[in-house]
């Protein structure tokens, strides 16, 4: 099994014979499909890698509210507004489940936020692109939530119990998000000429950034091999990207829209599409903080954190008062 991972990702994973007995027993539990719980012994690198991935995932959910939040006040009907509002609130909830899962690994929420605000911890590249028209709300739901689900469904079987359980709840809601996005695209693609153009333009701008959500190509993925051996990750980046393309191209055809890739062609032999690689220079630029909206997104998050300071202080004072009262009464 490990030899296979080395082949697909180009990275080596330590063989069991090189592990000490505690590490070997841990790996055997993972291989047997057992869940690791917060109080169980775990290698320090497993804990750190999980904090990195779950933390980034949580930050993505929270920062991911911003591009859609931008359209709540401009939704075309009351019904669309209520749906979008509910979706954005769901994303906040997903962030909270994930922060809770990360906290069980011994990092506080304040530390996680501090690492987001300082740029030490990443969030998904996709949220550094602007949402320019109402059709972008369709494209985000259809493509961004669609890509998120493709990645998250396998993560329901991830080895760390709290992460796996959070993913089960999240996936239920994500499928509603994807369908509401597709529904917006259906309306636009079957609407007036101007609406069709908006739908096509949204697909043109979001297609490659959506493909980038799965991470760099396998040969450049730093974490895949070890993360897969530990079942922190269940598939390689390229495997999931391929599945996403295979699932989404027929949906674009159904909408009567054109995927903006002239190299897109069905490959009978592999039973999937051949398609162009995203522009990896653009991807690395965006995750280094130089995307179109990185500065704006981080500023918004930092301001929200500072504006909320009085709430955290008031809750802390209230908790201290209650604890003091309980102690006096005891």
Interface residues with ligand FAQ (CB under 6 A) are 52-53, 56-57, 60-61, 64, 91, 122, 124-125, 140, 144-145, 148, 151, 212-216, 221-224, 227, 233, 237, 287
In the complex with ligand FAQ, the residue whose CB is nearer, 47 or 223, is 223
Question: Which residue's beta carbon is nearest to the bound ligand FAQ?
Answer: 64
The least CB distance from residue 163 to ligand FAQ, in Å, is 9
The least CB distance from residue 206 to ligand FAQ, in Å, is 11
In the complex with ligand FAQ, the residue whose CB is nearer, 122 or 196, is 122
Q: For residues 289 and 310, what is the distance between their CA atoms, to the nearest angstrom? A: 29
The sign of the torsion formed by the CA atoms of 150, 291, 136, 84 equals: positive
In the complex with ligand FAQ, the residue whose CB is nearer, 36 or 63, is 63
Are the CB atoms for 286 and 294 separated by under 8 Å?
A: yes
Q: Which residues contact 199 (CB under 8 A, 6 or more apart)?
A: 135, 138, 139, 185, 188, 189, 255, 257
In the complex with ligand FAQ, the residue whose CB is nearer, 49 or 258, is 49
The least CB distance from residue 265 to ligand FAQ, in Å, is 25
In the complex with ligand FAQ, the residue whose CB is nearer, 96 or 311, is 96
In the complex with ligand FAQ, the residue whose CB is nearer, 53 or 200, is 53
The least CB distance from residue 75 to ligand FAQ, in Å, is 16
In the complex with ligand FAQ, the residue whose CB is nearer, 237 or 310, is 237
Are the CB atoms for 196 and 189 separated by under 8 Å?
A: yes
The least CB distance from residue 250 to ligand FAQ, in Å, is 22
The least CB distance from residue 312 to ligand FAQ, in Å, is 24
Are the CB atoms for 213 and 240 separated by under 8 Å?
A: no
The least CB distance from residue 76 to ligand FAQ, in Å, is 19
- Strands (E) located in the chain: 265-267, 272-274
The sign of the torsion formed by the CA atoms of 144, 147, 153, 157 equals: negative
Are the CB atoms for 162 and 156 separated by under 8 Å?
A: no
What is residue 265's three-state secondary structure? Answer: strand
Taking CB atoms within 8 Å and a gap of at least 24, the contacts of 238-243 are 238/8, 238/214, 240/150, 240/151, 240/154, 240/214, 241/211, 241/214, 242/272, 242/273, 243/150
The least CB distance from residue 323 to ligand FAQ, in Å, is 36
Measuring CA to CA, which residue among 256, 264, 274 is closest to residue 203? 256
In the complex with ligand FAQ, the residue whose CB is nearer, 267 or 290, is 290
The least CB distance from residue 226 to ligand FAQ, in Å, is 9
Which helix (H) or strand (E) is 20 found in, with range? none
In the complex with ligand FAQ, the residue whose CB is nearer, 91 or 136, is 91
Are the CB atoms for 240 and 151 separated by under 8 Å?
A: yes
Cα dihedral value 131, 134, 138, 139, nearest 10: -30
């Amino acid at each position: 099994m490990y030899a296979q991972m080395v082949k697909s990702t180009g990275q080596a994973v330590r063989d069991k014979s090189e592990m000490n007995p505690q590490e070997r027993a841990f790996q055997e539990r993972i291989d047997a499909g057992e869940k690791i719980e917060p109080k169980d012994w775990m290698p320090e690198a497993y804990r750190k890698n999980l904090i990195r991935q779950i933390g980034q995932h949580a930050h993505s959910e929270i920062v991911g509210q911003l591009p859609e939040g931008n359209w709540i006040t401009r939704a075309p009907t009351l019904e669309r507004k209520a749906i979008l509002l509910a979706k954005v609130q769901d994303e906040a909830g997903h962030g909270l489940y994930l922060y809770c899962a990360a906290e069980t690994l011994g990092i506080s929420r304040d530390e996680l936020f501090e690492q987001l605000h300082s740029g030490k911890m990443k969030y998904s590249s996709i949220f550094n692109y602007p949402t320019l028209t109402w059709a972008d709300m369709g494209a985000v739901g259809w493509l961004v939530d669609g890509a998120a689900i493709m990645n998250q469904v396998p993560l329901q079987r991830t080895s760390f119990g709290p992460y796996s359980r959070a993913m089960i709840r999240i996936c239920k809601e994500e499928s509603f998000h994807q369908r509401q996005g597709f529904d917006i695209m259906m309306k636009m693609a079957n609407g007036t000429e101007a609406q069709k153009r908006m739908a096509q333009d949204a697909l043109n701008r979001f297609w490659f950034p959506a493909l980038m959500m799965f991470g760099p190509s396998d040969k450049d993925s730093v974490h895949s091999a070890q993360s897969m051996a530990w079942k922190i990750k269940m598939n390689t980046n390229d495997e999931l990207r391929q599945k996403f393309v295979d699932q989404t191209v027929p949906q674009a055809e159904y909408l009567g829209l054109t995927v903006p890739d002239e190299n897109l062609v069905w490959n009978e032999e592999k039973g999937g599409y051949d398609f162009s690689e995203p522009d990896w220079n653009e991807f690395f630029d965006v995750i280094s903080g130089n995307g179109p909206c990185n500065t704006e997104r981080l500023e918004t998050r930092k301001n929200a954190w500072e504006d909320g300071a009085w709430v955290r202080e008031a809750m802390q004072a209230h908790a201290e008062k209650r604890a003091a009262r309980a102690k006096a009464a005891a």
